[in-house]
Each structure stands twice: as C-alpha cells, then as structure tokens.
Amino acid sequence: MKLFGSLMLLVCAPLALAGNGAEYPNEHVAAFAVEKLDVTTLPSALRPKHEKGKKTFSDYGFVTQKAEENESLVEAPNGGARYSLKVLQQSDSGIYVCFALQSKDGSAASFQRVVLLKRKSASDLLKGRESFREFNGCPEIGGAGGDSSYGD
C-alpha cells in the first residue's frame, strides 16, 4: 500500500505543479498579449502572411496604435492590415480575446473570432487557437463559421 501511495504521489505531483508555471498579468493584459503572441498560431484568416523566422507582431514590423487596459490596436507599417484585440476573460488557464482583422478603411471588423491565448511556461510565447466558446461582446464575423480545426 505504501508503494501505491508513493507511486501516486510521483505521478500526480508534476501535474499539480504544471499549471503554476504560466502566470498571466492582471494589468495591461491586452498590451501583454500583443507583445507575447505567436501570431503564427492564429487561425489562418487572422494571421499575417507567413515569413520565415517571424513570430510576433513586432517581428513583422507591426506598430501598436492603441494600448489600453483591455484593448489594443496594431497596424502594419505600410498601413495595410490592422488588428484589434479585446480581452474578454482571463484566468490562470488562459486569456480569451476578441481578435479582429479590421477592414481597409478601419471602420469595421471584416473578420472577428474569439481566440484563446495560452502558454506553458512564463518564458514561452502565447499560442492562439480559435475558441468555440461564445461571448456577447464578440460576435463571429466573416468566413465560414464552424469549419475550423481549432478547439476550446
């Protein structure tokens, strides 16, 4: 019986500690997400065209136009793509954001989805995947809904 108890402790201890490594900030969450987001993990309709060796908005040359507590707006240096990010909910397990690709004139979102941002450790970039969880503040816009292989 002691052997079984010791074995269970060895198996469960790493699982209990695994959630503690990836803490998220409580303030300026949107700016944190823009800075630490691996944009190559976003759904294909949202991410910029892939360029070798580039992962973050700053790698792609995007500039933050607006950075508030729970909202950020980033724009391509040539005035092309504009992305808005609005924090919907955050917890120890991740950050739900409303991620939108703005229309060319910037007046409305041409594509918008709820994306869950997570990371495994404090040194990792945030990985984004489309969430099937719905929020009133982020209705799905554009694309063919429900055809994504991303999950919640």
Q: What are the boundaries of each domain within the chain?
A: 22-130
| pLDDT (tens digit per residue) in 113-136 | 999 999 999 899 999 999 988 898
Helix (H, G, I), strand (E, B) or coil at 41: helix
Section 86-102 average pLDDT: 91
Residue count (the chain): 152
Report the predicted TM-score, pTM, of the whole model to 2 decimal places.
Answer: 0.75
130 close to 113: Cβ distance less than 8 angstroms: yes
pLDDT tens per residue, range 44-75: 878 888 889 999 999 999 999 888 889 999 99
